Amino acid sequence: MFPAHRPHPDPDALAALARALSACADDTRSRGPWQSGAFDLLARSGALAGFIPTDCGGTAADEAAIVTLLVAIAENCLTTALALTQWASACRIIAGGAGDLRRTLLPPLARGDVHTTVGISQLSTSRRHLGAPSLSATRDGDGWRLNGLCPWVTGADSSDTIVTGALTTPGEQLFFVVPRTALGVTIAPPLEMLALSGSRTSSVTFADVSPLYVIVPDAAGGVRTGGLATTALALGSTHAALALLDEEAVSRPALAPVAAGLRAEAVEIAARLHGPAGEQSTRDRLRADANSLVVRAAQAALTAAKGAGFVVGHPAERLVRESMFFLVWSCPQSVSTAVLCELAGV
């Protein structure tokens, strides 16, 4: 999909990947993309390699190509798209590490031979409780010991390693690569959520755990929220709702202007998504607009489907539940505030 020296997705290959992910989406939503074969599809298509630098076995797709890929995947299976973003976040942190770490860990990840995920929410939205860090790192000779909690880890029980972040006693932030089977790692049962339970998101407790690798924060680039990936997934989910609305409009022409209006917003958001990155405040505004659109598009699809759409298992019912995810996923305060103000009409 991402040929060497041409880091852009091939349209035909991307369409084929989207169809394959859609075909196994029901299984993915139940068992997760690690068990349904969705991650294998990503690996075989070359999609995983697109996130990895060329000196570590990848094809280093550019941001525009990554956005295009994520939108297409989210349109066909939001569970797979979410898991992929967490995998990609872990790979980005690893890529910021030392050369030997990069060359050891990234090539098998690019091939899909092993899986990783990330658990860093404790460094941002969930980072402190009663003044103490949720996850702390203390020196142990030449190594480190981790103690505490990662409250949100997608695919924790399905990944070979977890990339996490912790604070030292002086308050320094460090990243660590921890094997899932490391002594002292306890993974809670996956949460039953309003939607996307197939992401197998769990809390992970670390009790005197010795990590495999440490990554300094400057090289890893720190923790980022509200990035383009979240907006890309919202746009993909919007496309799924619009497709459902289009189906209903075939026999009910009065729905056509509704679909056209929402689609115009989607086109405008896509143009901004592929435009210059701009300041973080610009990205946050884009994220807030995408959040608003995905929720409204899903509600429009449900309204158009009428009573049938209210039955569990109907695509409209699922899309409404999945749209709620964007109101709570990796939302900077400015994005949350914008959502609340829109809901309150202020």
| Residue (of 239, 250, 223) closest to 273 by Cα position | 239
Output the pLDDT for position 7. 66
Tell whether the model's pLDDT for residue 230 goes beyond 90.
yes
Domains of the chain with CATH codes: 11-115 (1.10.540.10), 117-220 (2.40.110.10), 228-344 (1.20.140.10)
Query: pLDDT at position 218, please?
Result: 56
Contacts for 177-183 with beta carbons within 8 Å, 24 or more apart? Answer: 177/94, 177/101, 177/105, 177/116, 177/211, 177/212, 177/213, 177/214, 177/215, 178/146, 178/206, 178/209, 178/211, 178/212, 179/212, 180/156, 182/209, 182/210, 182/211, 182/212, 183/209, 183/210
Contact 220, 93 (CB under 8 A): yes
For residues 275 and 180, the model is more confident at 180
What is the chain's alpha carbon radius of gyration, rounded to the nearest angstrom? 20
* Rounded mean pLDDT, 126-155: 84
Q: Is the pLDDT of residue 126 over 60?
A: no
Please tell me the distance from the alpha carbon of residue 58 to that of residue 314, in angstroms, as a whole number. Answer: 38
**Distant-in-sequence contacts of 135-140, Cβ < 8 A, 24+ apart:** 135/164, 135/165, 135/166, 135/167, 135/206, 136/166, 136/167, 136/168, 136/169, 137/166, 137/167, 137/168, 137/174, 137/176, 138/168, 138/169, 139/168, 140/210
pLDDT over threshold 80, residue 308: yes
Mean pLDDT of 242-266: 96
The pLDDT of residue 281 is 80
pLDDT over 80 at 130, yes or no: no
Q: Tell me the residue type at 75.
A: E
Specify the range with the lowest mean pLDDT, choosing from 30-34, 123-127, 131-135. 123-127
Torsion of CA 72, 75, 80, 86, to 10 degrees: 70
Residues 293 and 234: their CA atoms lie apart, in Å, by 8
Give the chain's mean pLDDT. Answer: 91
Is pTM beyond 0.95? Reply is no
For the chain, how are helix, strand and coil distributed in percent, rounded to 5? 55, 15, 25
Tell me the CB-side half-sphere exposure of residue 241, using CA atoms within 13 A.
33
| pLDDT in the model for residue 296 | 97
- Residue 192: closest CA among 15, 29, 316, 323: 29
223 pLDDT tier (thresholds 50, 70, 90): very low
pLDDT at 123: 86
pLDDT tens figures, 57-116:
999 999 999 999 999 999 999 999 999 999 999 999 999 998 899 999 999 999 999 999
Q: Could you identify the residue written with the tokens 């929220």?
A: 225
pLDDT at res. 225: 40
